[in-house]
Structure 1
Amino acid sequence: NVTLQLASIEQISFDEFIHSIPRVTLIGLFHSALADKTPMKGIQMFEVNPQLCMRLVELLCGGTDIESGKVAASDDAIDDKNFTDIELAILREVLQELGKVFQNSWKDIVQMETALDDLDTNPQLLQTMSPNEPVVLTTFTMQIGDMSTFLNICIPYVFFEGISDKLSFRNWFDSSQKLSKDDERELQRGLNNVEVSFETRLGSAQMEMADFLHLEVGDVIKLDRKTSAPLDTYVNGIPFYQAKPGKKDGNLAVELLDKLEGDPEDE
C-alpha cells in the first residue's frame, strides 16, 4: 500500500530543478501528444529518488520485509551506486504506469497520450532544455511502510502553451455544455460497477433492557407489522420499495410490489 499526497507546486528554472535532486537518481523522460496525434511541446520528467527505486525493486521482486534498514545498508550507499540493467527494466514498467496516471489526470481538460521515451540516471548530463527555462515542479510525498520519501514531476512551461485556453475553471464547469451520448455511456459504465446494499426489514420492536436481558431461546418477539402487510425494502438505507416475502428455488426471496414515494434526487 502506498500513500501519496501533494506537497507543493512551484515555478522554478530547469537548472534549479537539476540541482535540487540527487546526483544519481532515476528520471523518466516522457512526451505527450493530443488525441489527433499533434505533439505537445516540451519533455515531461518524473524523478524517483534511489531510495524509493530500491524499495520498489525489492517489493516487485517478491520482498515482503519493508523495514527500510533491510532494503539497503545506507542512503549514501544507494546514492553512489549505479542501477543495473535488471533494475532499470523493472523500474521502466513502474515509470510507464506513472505515465498512464499522468495522462488520465488530464482527461477532463484535454485528451492526450503520454509515452515513456527513455530513462536517465545522471541529471547533470540532461540537455533536454536550457538551464533558464521555466518549469513547473510538482512534489508529492510518498509513504511506503515506514519509509517516507518524495516523487517529483517536472513540466516545462512550453507544455502549457498549447492548452492554456483550456485551463480556466469556466471551461471545466461550463453548465451550458450538453451531455453527449458518449458521456452518458461512460457514466453508466462507471455506475454499473458501484455496489449498493439491498435489504428487506421484517419489522422492528422496542423493549426494556430488563426484558432484553431475560430473553431465551424460544421466546417470541412481537414486531410492529402484521404478517400480511408488505415489507419495506431499503437501498443503501433509503426505503425504495414495498415487497412480499417468499421463496424461489429453495432460497428466501422477496417480490417487489410498489415503489415508495421519495426524493427524486435520491433515485
Structure 2
Amino acid sequence: MADILSQSEIDALLSALSTGEMNAEELKDEEKKQRIRTYDFKRALRFSKDQIRSLTRIHENYARLLTSYFSAQLRTYVQISVASVDQLPYEEFIRSIPSATVLNVIEAPPLEGHLIIEVNPNIAYAMLDRLLGGNGESMNKIENLTEIETDLMKGLFEGGLQALKDAWSSVEHEINPTLIELETNPQFLQLVSPNETVIVISLSAMIGKSSGMINLCLPHVVLEPVIPKLSMHYWMNEKKNDVTTEEYKALKNSVEHSYIKVIANLGNSQITIGELLNLRAGDVIKLDQHLDQPIVVNIDGLPKFLAQPGRRQKQIAVQIIKNISEEDDVDE
C-alpha cells in the first residue's frame, strides 16, 4: 500500500511542481523503475501480521492469568504484561538471553516439539526469595542453585502452566503443557536448528521491587499445526458458530422473562424537614416539572426514555416519545 501524504506534504509537492523544482515526467519514470527490497532468508518472516496479533491477544490473557497466579503464590505485588512479540531466528534468541538464567523446557501435546519459558535471574531469584520467606529481593546466584531451590522453582513454574493452557483454549485448541526440564545454561539447549524461525513473546514482570523479563520462545515448527487457527477470519467464524440454535432459543427465552424495574419520574421537589413532618392527607406538593416538559423513564436506575404522562383505559400511563442518548442532558 502506498504511503498517505499529509496535507503539508501535498502542498510542498504541488509547490515544487509549479516552480519547476521537480519534473512530473521524472516522477513517472521513477515510478516505472523496478523497486528492489532486501530480504534476509535467515530471518524469514513466517508469521503474518494477523497471526502476530492473535498471538499477542492470547498472551495478553496469559499475562493476566499469570499475574493472578504469582500474586497468590508469592503473596506480594506482581504485575506482568506483554512488552513485545517478535519473530526471529532461534540462534538470535539464544544469544539475546543471559548466559546464566532459568530456562523451563515445556512439552505441550498434541503439539510436537518443545517450548521455552525463560525467566530473567532478577525475577527468578526474587520469586525464590519470597518462597523461602524473604522480602523478594533479587540476587543473581542462578548458577549455584541447590536441589531444594531447584525443586521449589520447578513447583512454582509447573503451577503456572495452567495459565498457559487456559490462554490457548481461547483459540479452540487444547494443549497440555508439562515441565520436563529446568536448565540454567542456554548453550545446552539446541531444540531446533539455529535458523528456525521462532516467536518470542516478551513479558515485562515486576515482583515486589524487582523487575525483569519473562520470554516465551515458540518455534514455528511447533506452532505449525495451529497456525491456520491464528487468523482473525477463522477465529471470528468459530465464535459465530459457538452458540447452537437450541442454546440461542434458551438464552432468548430466559432474557425475555427477566424482570426489570421501570420507574417514571414525574418530577422532583425540595421541602424542609419541618414541612415533611407537618404533611397531612390531601396536602399538595409542588413539583419542579412543567406540564409541557417530558418526564424521564428509568430502567433499573438508568435514564433510558423520555415520555409524556396520560391515561390508558382509565389507568395512569406514560407514552414513550424518545430514547435518551449519551448527548442528551437529562436531570434524573
Q: Could you state the TM-score of these two structures normalised by the residue count of structure 1? A: 0.63
CA deviation digits over 1:152-193, x for unaligned, max 9? Answer: 000101122111221111221126515159989xx9xxxxxx
Counterparts in 2 of 1:57 and 1:182: CA distance versus 1, 3 Å? farther
| 2:82 alignment partner in structure 1 | 6
CA distance in 2, matches of 1:221, 1:27: 79
Q: Distance in 2 between matches of 1:220 and 1:91?
A: 70
1:84-99 aligned at under 5 Å gives the runs: 84-99=146-161
Counterparts in 2 of 1:205 and 1:44: CA distance versus 1, 3 Å: same
Aligned match for 1:179, one of 243, 247, 251:
243
Structure-1 residue corresponding to 2:121: 50
Q: 1:101 aligns with which of 145, 163, 167?
A: 163
* Higher strand residue share: 1
- Render the CA deviation track for 1:96-120: whole Å, top value 9, x for unaligned: 1232111111112112211111111
Instruction: Tell me which residue corresponds to 1:130.
Output: 193
Pair 1:207–1:107, CA change in 2 (3 A): same
In 2, the alpha carbon distance for the partners of 1:103 and 1:130 equals 26
Q: Secondary structure at the match of 2:97?
A: coil
Shift of 1:148: 2.1
| Structure with greater proportional helix content | 2
| Percent identity between the two aligned chains | 27
Q: Is the 8 A contact 2:99 2:185 kept in 1?
A: yes
Q: How does 1:6-85 map to 2 (within 5 A)?
A: 6-33=82-109, 39-63=110-134, 65-66=135-136, 71-72=137-138, 78=140, 81-85=143-147
Kindly name which structure, 1 or 2, has the bigger radius of gyration based on alpha carbons.
Answer: 2
Q: Do the aligned residues in 1 keep the contact of 2:122 with 2:210 (CA within 8 Å)?
A: no
Q: How many residues align?
A: 202
Aligned-pair distance for 1:144? 2.1
* Alpha-carbon shift at residue 62 of structure 1 (Å): 2.7
Structure 1 residue runs without a partner (length 5+): 34-38, 188-197, 225-232, 240-260
> Is the contact between residue 22 and residue 79 of structure 1 (CA under 8 Å) also seen in structure 2?
no
Shift of 1:238: 5.0
Larger deviation, residues 153-162 vs 78-87: 78-87
The two structures, once aligned, show a CA RMSD in angstroms of 3.8
Q: 1:87, CA displacement in angstroms?
A: 1.2
Counterpart amino acid of 1:173? Answer: M
Q: Is the 8 A contact 2:84 2:201 kept in 1?
A: yes
Deviations 1:120-161 (A, max 9, x none): 111111122222221111101112222221110001011221
SS in 1 for 2:169: coil
- Any idea what SS the aligned residue of 2:133 has? coil
Which 4+ residue blocks in structure 1 deviate beyond 4 angstroms? 180-184, 203-206, 219-224
Considering Cα pairs closer than 8 Å and 6+ residues apart, tell me whether 1 or 2 has the greater RCO: 1
AA aligned opposite 2:82: L
Change (3 A) 1:173 1:82: same
- Change in Cα spacing, 1:17 to 1:182, as seen in structure 2 (3 Å) is farther
Pairing 1:130-149 to 2, within 5 Å after superposition: 130-149=193-212
Shift of 1:93: 1.8
Closer, same or farther: CA 164–146 of 1 in aligned 2, 3 Å: same
Contact 1:24 1:82 in 2 (8 A): no
> What's the TM-score once normalised by structure 2's chain length?
0.51
